[in-house]
Structure 1
């Protein structure tokens, strides 16, 4: 099973345990969001999507 880092909501400490070793409260999994607003390849995906919608095949052009 994959272990994920956990965060304590009370003292904001990071741990791998289900209970915080500092304050004893329950922790939650601190997983980053899947979507990032800083997307370096967004421009290319939009261009490819527009090419497919317009019926163009932009991948074959040199």
Structure 2
């Protein structure tokens, strides 16, 4: 099932469009991916999340 609602990455507004009507920024799907215990890529998503964090390690 495809989600219709989208969230602007720049201003945080919710919309149905691909481009934000308020600021013109790109929108993304705000819903997290479906959980699977057999997820092969969880290591990469977690590393990406903490990549910019200086206190991590």
State TM-score, norm by structure 2: 0.49
Whichever of the two has the greater Rg, that structure is 1
State TM-score, norm by structure 1: 0.46
